[in-house]
Amino acid sequence: MEARTRVAELRSLILAAQESYYVNDAPTVADGEYDSWVQELATLEGEFPELATEDSPTKQVGGKAATGFAAVSHLDRMLSLDNVFSLSELEQWVSKVARDTGQNASDIELLCEVKIDGLAVSLVYENGVLTRGVTRGDGRVGEDVTANVETIKTIPHFLNGDDIPGLVEIRGEVFLPVDEFNALNMQLVAAGQTPYANPRNTAAGSLRQKDAKITAGRNLRFYAHGIGYLDWPSQSPIPFQKQSQFYGLLRDWGVPVSPYFRVAKGYPGAAKMVADYQNRRHDLEHEIDGIVIKVDDLSAQQNLGNTSRAPRWAIAYKYPPEEVHTRLLAIEVGIGRTGRATPYAVLEPIKVAGSTVSRATLHNQEVVKAKGVQIGDVVVLRKAGDVIPEVLGPVSALSNDGHPRSPFVMPKNCPECGTELRPMKVGDIDLRCPNAESCPAQVRGRVEHIGSRGALDIEALGEVTAAALTEPLPPLTPALHTEAGLFNLTLDELLPIEVVVRDWETGLPRVDDNGVEIRRTPFRKKNGEPTSAAALLLSEIEAAKSKELWRQLVALNIRHVGPVAARALADRFGSLTAIQSASEIELAAVEGVGPEIANSIINWFAIPWHQEIVNRWKSAGVRFAIPDHPGPEAMALAAASGNYSAESAGPLAGMSVVVTGTLDSFSRTEAADAIRAAGGKPVDSVSKKTNYVIVGANPGSKAAKAELLGIPVLDEAQFQALLENGSPVS
């Protein structure tokens, strides 16, 4: 009885969610929660076959056709896809398909393509002329949206060429590019209207407009991904036997096909496609929620056949859900190391993409306005891998539930030091706290930055230690009021420091059973002895005194002076004294620096408390110089002769090298350092000027571009040989 009740409940939930998603284009349930309902229902129906009726959502396709458009029957049924949610499930599916088709699992050819998060449509061409556009609907009957489809610029009204069938149904996806989605939402908010929740439902709503002129203004796109009904002239053979070959024919006809597909062999090839796009899914022009894997051979597709709702020859690998719904409890403002005031959302804690999230960025007050969110709204939250969580917008259908709501008002004063916030220059959207010297948040941020990998790489000086040094609990005063005293820290200053223990997933203070905040002394044991953390911090700070000049320049927190500019300045001038003595024109003349950075350097050294940082670091023993450097004059002459580089005699002198993917022996930073040490130049993008592309695990599109341009592509072993002797062959 309990199973029967739960089945009925799940069917009701799923049908209501389908109505909101497919018909109203206003989802009220996050994708991950919907998928979990469908999975649970399928499991229960498998355990209790008597409950698996033919009208179950697990046996139906999509949703019913929306009212307001003429209902049209598809020439051939438009099916949905079954899903898998793990690589082990994908491997089992590939093995079963190979077994059912009599092939070796490692040899079967699979067409792998990204699963576009859009609206499925079917285009009917008669003798090469577009005559009808229909949404999927329930798979048998959809909505006639021909007038709107004809406004989509990427959909041809006529097929090109002479080899045209008498009648063909082309299946594909209508989508809205992410850039267009963001621009549209800003327009809606500016007009006082509710913004859309996501690009998929925006595309669906745009295609279902009664006025085709509105659809035309939405800049929708279309990519084809399949065949429906096909009436090929009997006098000529069908010129394709594989779906990938059909994609080539579609291109010849002028029908756009997604560039994000490949034919792979067996499970390893499919798994690689899954991995390649998981980390770059938000780098594409449109949103995706997984990878579709199809048997490429059309005769094998026909032999495998279909279930009541999905083909047996295709499966969708769904990525872990990255979008969830949660309540926006408050909007607070944080201050960064440059003084920038950034609103952030305080949320009801919720698990998304593998971790619990209770904070999310909102960038600035204009973004809050553009997103149309109010405190108290139910919002869509996205967390893509390790990327900072982001609030996408409100879920209007759930926000009007009587819960108190209020608009966000940007504070006028810094929440950390009380200084009035203001833009850095006329026209800036961002507000900043001008109290750079003593604002606790800015000091904390700068100290943490000093310890980062791109600066002095002090492992013990991370976020927690920076907070402990700059904001200990009262009555203690900070060990560091500015970063000037970093290299003078003593054990006696560290031992008394006490901090509040925070939950690293929620950011909230932890409490004991009595509700009292838990406090810790990170540098002192209970018996008063120093911890290993104290000794490690002091030893690493001591070692940092003699680190590379470019790292010390980055650690000074000079605006715009990152690792690239710092390396160029260090190579040219050789010492901080020479940099301070250089004119703005001399600084700007350095490759990779330019007028803006040069001006920033001049202005930085003109501030007295900045000079104090340099003087105290020098007196503490920081070596602001490159030993045996020939001096700025010699390096200027080398630059004028086209031979500018401190390592110009290295095996990679004058070469540009791109690294893509994950290497076993190098982090990305270490690989770049190794290239520079060998006299080469690490670059991010592939061009005709690139000499080599180094490829590790899960490379992106750079490897493919290199092959297209004829640039040598090397593996990690060849990279090691290249670094040693300038040749990929040892």
Please indicate whether residue 188 or residue 267 has the higher confidence score (pLDDT).
Answer: 267
Cβ atoms of 220 and 152 closer than 8 Å: yes
> How far is Cα 27 from Cα 188, in angstroms, rounded to an integer?
18
Are both 116 and 196 inside the same structural domain?
yes
> How far is Cα 316 from Cα 122, in angstroms, rounded to an integer?
19
CATH number, domain of 6, equals 1.10.287.610
Whether the pLDDT of residue 37 is over 80: the answer is no
Are both 169 and 232 inside the same structural domain?
yes
CATH number, domain of 631, equals 1.10.150.20
- pLDDT at residue number 573: 92
Are both 537 and 636 inside the same structural domain?
no
> How far is Cα 582 from Cα 599, in angstroms, rounded to an integer?
11
Lowest mean pLDDT among 293-307, 457-471, 540-554, 593-607: 457-471
Question: SS3 of 123, please?
Answer: strand
- pLDDT at residue number 318: 87
Whether the pLDDT of residue 7 is over 60: the answer is yes
Contacts 24+ apart (CB under 8 A), 617-620: 617/484, 617/486, 617/487, 617/552, 620/487, 620/488, 620/545
- pLDDT at residue number 394: 86
Whether the pLDDT of residue 700 is over 60: the answer is yes
> What is the average pLDDT score of the chain?
83
- pLDDT at residue number 92: 93
In DSSP notation, 513-573 reads: TTSPBPEE-TTB-TTSPBPHHHHHHHHHHHHHTTS-HHHHHHHTT-TT--HHHHHHHHHHH
For 234-255, write each residue's pLDDT tens digit: 666 788 899 999 999 999 999 9
Are both 108 and 250 inside the same structural domain?
yes
Nearest to 80 by CA among 57, 108, 107, 47: 57
For 134-144, write each residue's pLDDT tens digit: 998 888 888 89
Give the orientation angle of helix 440-450 with respect to helix 463-470, to 10 degrees: 140
Nearest to 582 by CA among 595, 593, 573: 573
Whether the pLDDT of residue 62 is over 70: the answer is no
Whether the pLDDT of residue 649 is over 60: the answer is no
Q: Which of 589, 610, 640 is the last residue of a domain?
A: 640
* Distances, alpha carbon 301 to alpha carbons 38, 73, 149, 239, 412, in Å: 25, 23, 29, 17, 64
Tell me whether residue 683 is in a domain.
yes
Lowest mean pLDDT among 16-30, 320-334, 694-708, 715-729: 16-30
Q: Give the residue numbers annotated as catalytic, written as ranges.
A: 115
Are both 523 and 557 inside the same structural domain?
no
For 274-283, write each residue's pLDDT tens digit: 988 887 777 8
Whether the pLDDT of residue 422 is over 70: the answer is yes
Whether the pLDDT of residue 538 is over 80: the answer is yes
CATH number, domain of 663, equals 3.40.50.10190
For 387-411, write each residue's pLDDT tens digit: 568 888 888 767 667 788 899 999 9
Are both 136 and 269 inside the same structural domain?
yes
- pLDDT at residue number 66: 45
- pLDDT at residue number 612: 96
For 290-342, write each residue's pLDDT tens digit: 999 999 999 999 999 988 778 999 999 988 767 788 999 999 998 888 898 98
pLDDT > 70 in the chain, percent: 87
Tell me whether residue 570 is in a domain.
yes
Are both 265 and 234 inside the same structural domain?
yes
Contacts of 296 (CB under 8 A, 6+ apart): 109, 110, 111, 242, 243, 244, 263
Are both 96 and 183 inside the same structural domain?
yes
Tell me whether residue 12 is in a domain.
yes
Tell me whether residue 675 is in a domain.
yes
Per-residue pLDDT band at 122 (split at 50, 70, 90): very high
Tell me whether residue 364 is in a domain.
no
Are both 523 and 632 inside the same structural domain?
no
**25-31: average pLDDT:** 55
Whether the pLDDT of residue 191 is over 70: the answer is no
Tell me whether residue 730 is in a domain.
no
CATH number, domain of 220, equals 3.30.470.30
> How far is Cα 672 from Cα 676, in angstroms, rounded to an integer?
6
Which residue's entry shows tokens 């904390």? 444
Lowest mean pLDDT among 535-539, 659-663, 723-727: 723-727
Cβ atoms of 413 and 420 closer than 8 Å: yes
For 200-234, write each residue's pLDDT tens digit: 878 888 887 878 888 888 889 999 999 989 888 76
> How far is Cα 647 from Cα 650, in angstroms, rounded to an integer?
6
Are both 286 and 180 inside the same structural domain?
yes
Cβ atoms of 556 and 562 closer than 8 Å: no
Question: Which residue range forms the structural domain that includes residue 605?
Answer: 549-640
Please indicate whether residue 450 or residue 182 has the higher confidence score (pLDDT).
Answer: 450
Which residue's entry shows tokens 């045996």? 628
For 471-505, write each residue's pLDDT tens digit: 877 777 888 999 999 999 999 999 888 877 665 44
Cα 613–446–476 angle (5° rounding)? 85
Q: Which of 597, 612, 640 is the last residue of a domain?
A: 640
Please indicate whether residue 521 or residue 273 has the higher confidence score (pLDDT).
Answer: 273
- pLDDT at residue number 169: 94
pTM higher than 0.75 = no
**451-471: average pLDDT:** 87
User: Phi and psi (nearest 5°) for 450?
Assistant: -60, -40
Tell me whether residue 348 is in a domain.
no
Cis before residue 699, ω within 30 degrees of 0?
Answer: no
The number of distinct structural domains making up the chain is 5
Are both 533 and 581 inside the same structural domain?
no
Which residue's entry shows tokens 């899903």? 83
- pLDDT at residue number 386: 47
Q: Which of 284, 318, 352 is the last residue of a domain?
A: 318
Q: Which pair of structure tokens corresponds to residue 172?
A: 């594909």
Half-sphere exposure of 18 (CA within 13 A, CB side): 21
Are both 564 and 688 inside the same structural domain?
no
Tell me whether residue 235 is in a domain.
yes
